[in-house]
Amino acid sequence: MTIPNPNTEPAEINAGDMVQWKKTLSDFPASAWTLSYVLVKPGTQITFDSVPDGDDHQIILDSFLTADYTAGTYQYQAYVTDIPGLKRHTVGRGTIKIKTDLTAQTDGYDFNLAQEREHVEQVIEALQATIAKKATRDQLSTLVGGEKIEKLRPGQVLMWLTRYKEWLASIEQREALAAGEGFDDNIHIRFI
């Protein structure tokens, strides 16, 4: 069986699958530079490095590594570091979605909760990108409270960001309970 080896980062990764790709960076050959990636989403960071393949950079994520990846949409930054580690250059940015490994789920897996989490995380990312003035056209057209984000006033964007972060926290608590983990039994009071 041949495993595909595209020349660009994948848009999606299935947790538990082997993933690989190759990057050719003529200004930063693998003989003198290491290509590294950092993927981040709220509360989670994933890092990995390439291995040399001639002057190309080969990225290989084995199944045992990706099996531990938490599902969600991640922002990534690709950067190269010279072999002595004195210089660093960013060579790419983008988004990678990691999908849940359904083979690792039990009968109690809540697909609706997973979809709810995905929606909430996407809205949070769109709101944060709007605040940072880096939102894409798709992010600006995301509906929040029945309105497109691009039509919201700055105070409304912050208000919705707070609400969606609270929603995400409640999803995380429900996931922890479903997984049989403890829960926060503190009473939280919020004054408005």
What string of pLDDT tens digits covers the 192 residues of the chain?
445 557 789 988 989 999 999 999 999 999 999 999 999 987 889 999 999 999 999 999 999 999 889 888 889 999 999 988 889 999 999 989 888 777 766 555 556 777 788 888 899 999 999 999 998 998 999 999 889 999 999 999 999 999 999 988 888 787 766 655 555 555 555 555
Beta bridge partners of 75: 40, 95
Q: 65, exposed or middle or buried, with CB in 10 Å at 0-12, 13-18, 19+? A: middle
Domain with CATH 2.60.40.10 in the chain: 12-102
107 SS3 class:
coil
**Looking at the chain, how many residues does it have?**
192
Q: What is the pTM of this model?
A: 0.58
Kindly indicate whether the domain formed by 12-102 is annotated with CATH number 3.40.190.10: no
